A and B are shown apart, each in its own frame.
Chain A
């Protein structure tokens, strides 16, 4: 139902008062924003800035949404573009970088054991060592997107995406095993 509301918004049929419905759609897919922000922004304060920027750009780009794409694919495109630009501009938390790339800055859950947390920190650190486009590729791969969808988000061919995924996975494996 919310999807149809969104379509009405982008077709200009819905008045401005319906914009909260777009926001509801964003909230439904909030996980996308969270994952992308964590992947491109180690600093908590800068991450808040990035979160705001992504939400704002989603709101601003709503008029360009094309029906042939799934809402989540469109959201990945906008959010990843904003995050990569943000990262390139050097707004990735100049003031408070973590002590090492393998420091997990998410607060530890007492229910988790230390070894488990360490493995997650390694994964986070290893992904952050990847170049910005590679991070996007592996994020979409882990989110179980098809090669076709990943290729559409990136703007590459499916063959190119397949080659990149296998290279990135190998690098990640090596990186995690080395710790």
Chain B
């Protein structure tokens, strides 16, 4: 089968498609013309689901931030310095994550389907995978959940339980958080620990996006 024969077959295939679907398509276009279509729930960008999920996360994050601010404002005392500093650190990480999410939501709304296929698909996949970026930042707050119970009285009165239990726990959490921050990266998406950590249903689209990014990269290289 040569090129001409292949091309001829394609032309016949096209004619068949056009004969079959032309009326349907015409009716959809006319339907759009009445603008009813634009108001139906059916019309949604594929990325809207990602955007909606991110908006929910922003709303929940803001509530959490307000709660933390409330606690900090009402705990301003030297005796509660560990509590306040820990909460302030947690607050900082959460505000950063919210800003990242807002930035992503804006980027999603700016995706332009008339750009080249590789650009749009890469941008879309990168945005989906970007949830990982916020997650690795949020892991950094972990040790502060162990330090907010610290106080000088505890250190003075029960140095054993503080230095042998509380301090090592916080240290381990800090080491773990920094390790996760450095290693939660698309390059490790094939590793067993990575798959275990992100095995829930909510992570499926993120993992798929990471695989897709690799596919796109290989395609660009001509493989």
Interface of A toward B, CB cutoff 8 Å: 19-20, 23, 26-27, 30-31, 33-35, 37-38, 48-49, 51-53, 55-57, 59-61, 64-66, 74, 77-78, 80-82, 84-86, 88-89, 91, 106-107, 109, 112, 116, 119-120, 123-124, 131, 133, 136, 142, 152-156, 160, 163-164, 169, 172-173, 176-177
Contact = CB atoms under 8 A, between A and B. Distances in A.
B46 A155 contact: no
For A31, A66, A160, which residue has the most chain B Cβ atoms within 10 angstroms? A31
Interface string B28-50: 11101100011000110111000
A109 B16 contact: yes
B117 A84 contact: yes
A9 to B, nearest CB: 14
A123 B121 contact: no
A30 B17 contact: no
B29 A169 contact: no
Nearest to A79: B113
Contacts of A120: 9, 12-13, 16
A123 B10 contact: yes
A28 to B, nearest CB: 10
Nearest to B32: A55
A67 to B, nearest CB: 12
Contact of B13 (A52, A80, A123): A123
Q: Which applies to chain B's interface (DSSP): helix, strand, loop or mixed?
A: helix
A81 B113 contact: yes
A34 to B, nearest CB: 5
A46 B142 CA distance: 44
A61 B32 contact: no
B164 interface: no
Interface of B: 1, 3, 6-7, 9-10, 12-14, 16-22, 24-26, 28-30, 32-33, 37-38, 42-43, 45-47, 112-121, 124, 208, 212, 215, 219-220, 222
Given A51-B25, A53-B43, A123 B117 contact: no
Contacts of A66: 114
A55 B29 contact: yes
Given A30-B26, A33-B25, A106-B20, A156 B118 contact: yes
B42 A52 contact: yes
Given A52-B37, A77-B113, A177-B1, A27 B14 contact: no
B40 to A, nearest CB: 9
A146 B125 CA distance: 28
7 contacts: A33-B25, A55-B32, A56-B38, A81-B121, A84-B121, A85-B121, A142-B10
B10 A61 contact: no
Contacts of B113: 57, 60-61, 77-78, 81-82
Which of A30, A109, A153, A160 has most chain B Cβ within 10 Å?
A: A30
B17 A51 contact: no
B117 A51 contact: no
Nearest to B124: A85
Contacts of A51: 24-25, 28
Given A30-B25, A38-B17, A106-B16, A155 B37 contact: no
